[in-house]
Amino acid sequence: MEELDVRQIFTYLKRHFWLIICIVLVAASLSATITYFFITPQYEASATLYVFNDSNRSDTSISTTDITTSQKLIATYSVIMQSDNVIHKVIETTNLNYTPSQIRKMFTGTSVNNTEVMKVTITSSDPVDSMVLANAFIDVAPDEILRVIKAGAVEILDRAEIPQQPSSPSMMKNIAIGAVLGVIAAVAFVILYELFNTKVRNEENLLRVVKAPVIGYIPDLQLYQKDDKEVHSYGRRRKA
């Protein structure tokens, strides 16, 4: 197996350019096919809640401490909303055929840009179910949160709507990933093929393999025979 330098690698890649292109196209096409036919689209529906750190909101002024406390409460509220009590009430409200563990995997509760606004997101293969579940959570959550914590409160800002486009998978992203993997596979194949290819194609290749001077050349007899036949054929045409 011979050693490689950068110039040799580029020579090999140039020699097998169209093979590399074909492998990349096949990889990208395969990625698109798998994405379209074998990966189930997922839809996200989101609703938002405004979190207060005190259920008594007669004082309209809001301090920095109130905002910080509300932000911290969002993490607590998210855990409460994933409790069995809340999820069972969501199932009873929606009458959807999901288990608590399935709904828990669909649920995400996060703070919007580190504010007091909490976003409840449901990810499902059914766009209608994702909307129904997200709205059920924000309907059930306020009373259940107040019952558990006995402090703080939430108000509904926006209700979820039916998502029109899937959130995943991304066709273009997967095609790009497939193309990149195709390039890597094609380049690796070409380099390995050239490394283990023992065929000597020219003098430079021979010198690199045997590391000895060339003392003579063996002519290609088939090439001479071909040229000789062309000469005789030309002569016969002239005589005719």
Last residue of a domain, one of 131, 158, 185: 158
Flag whether 163 is in a domain: no
Based on the domain organization, do 84 and 122 belong to the same domain? Answer: yes
Q: How confident is the model at residue 80 (pLDDT cuts 50, 70, 90)?
A: very high
Give the residue numbers spanning the domain of 142.
43-158
Smallest CA-to-CA distance from 131 within 87, 92, 164 is with: 164
Question: In 10 A of CB 72, how many CB atoms?
Answer: 13
Give CA angle at 87 (128, 72), nearest 5°.
100
Question: Which DSSP helix (H) or strand (E) runs through 202?
Answer: none
Based on the domain organization, do 139 and 65 belong to the same domain? Answer: yes
pLDDT at 234: 46
Based on the domain organization, do 53 and 116 belong to the same domain? Answer: yes
Based on the domain organization, do 113 and 137 belong to the same domain? Answer: yes
Nearest 5°: phi and psi at 16? -110, 35
Based on the domain organization, do 50 and 149 belong to the same domain? Answer: yes
Exposure string over 43-60, b if 16+ CB within 10 A, otherwise e: bbbbbbbebbbeeeeeee
- pLDDT per residue as tens digits for the range 105-127: 999 999 998 888 999 999 999 99
Q: What is the DSSP string of 166-191?
A: -SB--HHHHHHHHHHHHHHHHHHHHH
CA–CA separation, 109 vs 138, rounded Å?
11
Q: How confident is the model at residue 3 (pLDDT cuts 50, 70, 90)?
A: low
Average pLDDT of every residue of the chain: 83
**Cis peptide, bond prior to residue 169, ω within 30 of zero:** yes
* CATH number of the domain where residue 154 is located: 3.30.70.1130
- pLDDT per residue as tens digits for the range 193-206: 888 876 666 666 66
Q: 149: helix, coil or strand?
A: helix
Total domains in the chain come to 2
Share of the chain above pLDDT 90, in %: 54
- pLDDT per residue as tens digits for the range 170-188: 999 999 999 999 999 999 9
| pTM over the 0.85 mark | no
Based on the domain organization, do 118 and 28 belong to the same domain? Answer: no
The residue count of the chain comes to: 240
